Amino acid sequence: MNKSWSILEIRPTKNKKEIRRAYTRLLKKYHPEDNPDGFMRLRAAYEQAMKWAEQLDKAPSNDTHSALFGSEADFITKEEQKVITDEVNGEQEEQERIIITDEVEVSDFYEEMRAIYDDIFKRRDINSWTSLFLHQSLVVSERLSEVAIQFFIENPHLPHDIWLYLDSELSFSKLSWFPWKDMIQYDLGLTFQYLDPNLAVDYEKYADLRFQAFLAIRDMKYLEGIDYAMQAMEIYNRDPVLYKLLGVSYYVLGDYDRVEITFSRVLKFIPNDVDAFVYRGYAYYQNGDYEKAKQDFNQALSRDQDNIEARRGLGLILKEIKARNQTVDDKCFDQIYAMDLELDYSKCSESMFFFPDLPEKESYLTFIRRNLSLLFQILVFSGILLFLLTGIYTMIFEIGDVLLSMILIIVLIIGVIKVVLLVNQLER
């Protein structure tokens, strides 16, 4: 019996749940197809352990046994004892049949789950997964959950929508130790929708290499990630997800020419991809191509007006343009007479974004247009002054009111000063 516990890699216990868990865990190690001898030993150990646990649950204590089968229980006939024994044996056989049936169901479930995962197009189809979980028995649902959780820990390369569905069935996000919570919480873009089912491609190998590239880049091993991505591209080169992984790696490594190329490829597959416009825009910016960078940032903002990185990129471009214009103003003409005038004009034209318009030829009309507002004020105040002069004359020579005349004279002087000030403001 000790050998059975050693094979199951647990201590002796009558806890059937613990025995089943150990058996399910070791099924992956001793798979019937890969290791039939190991599977037979595991199966025999499992059955012995379950029988032992069953006997412990049903075995009566010494006192109970004496009470039933000792001298005080002589009134129980042999026929009755036989009935009791047959019932116990029948229950044990039924329990064993249930266990075997459960194991078959668990094994079938695992094989179906593996078949879905190994077929990349079934793997990306949510209907395949919903059908799998819909037809499972509630009796063994806890054991199936344990098997499934372990399976997806070892096989995590799934699209985001599949992760969300599996989380609703298996509650991964509630397990503090589950290693792939970020695959559920964030859409990392690892979709399979760009794989063409009409091509004879080893998509399983491709998907594995792409996922290895993703893991390396996530762990900031960019050169390793690029190596995996290039191996994947030898198998299939029409997946924008792979180009995104490459583009991000090149950007971090400062290879901006390759960033432009890879994200241009992404935009051929996904013309409205905001991230591609932003990354390519920053690559153009780093290479000094501000006009193309500005176009890409504007494209990103036309699709996502709140994109912070695109707004930041436009701000950097405006800052560079301002600095460039300032450089032109300060330095471009410093040694103009020591240079060839034609060459100087060409260089300055490349540096500046615009030249000021030539001034208009001076005339009375241009003078009036420039000073129209001031001229209107001068005319108004001149009219008021003329009115005051008329009033002063009337007060002094016709009415003889000297005090009021003095007040009007003071107002007249103030008005004259105002007109003089307005005249001085005229642009000549």
**Which CATH number is 239-327 given?**
1.25.40.10
Boundaries of every domain in the chain: 2-156, 239-327, 364-424
Q: What is the pTM of this model?
A: 0.53
Tokens of 303: 């699709």
* Per-residue pLDDT band at 244 (split at 50, 70, 90): very high
Contact between 180 and 160 (Cβ < 8 Å): no
Give the separation between CA 315 and CA 321, rounded to whole angstroms.
Answer: 10
Higher-confidence residue of 63 and 37: namely 37
Mean pLDDT of 75-98: 44
Give the separation between CA 159 and CA 172, rounded to whole angstroms.
Answer: 15
pLDDT in tens, 163-193: 999 998 888 888 888 999 988 988 888 899 8
* Per-residue pLDDT band at 43 (split at 50, 70, 90): confident
Report CA 407 to chain centroid distance, whole Å: 80
pLDDT in tens, 412-421: 788 788 777 8
Predicted pLDDT of residue 117: 93
Question: How far is residue 194 from each of residues 113, 184, 220, 242, 293, measured CA to CA in Å?
Answer: 23, 21, 26, 10, 28
Give the separation between CA 399 and CA 393, rounded to whole angstroms.
Answer: 9
Residue carrying the six token digits 């001898």 = 37
Q: Which amino acid is at 42?
A: L
Query: Is residue 128 over pLDDT 60?
Result: yes
Q: Which of 46-60, 247-261, 355-369 has the lowest mean pLDDT?
A: 355-369
Query: Is residue 424 over pLDDT 80?
Result: no
* Per-residue pLDDT band at 52 (split at 50, 70, 90): confident
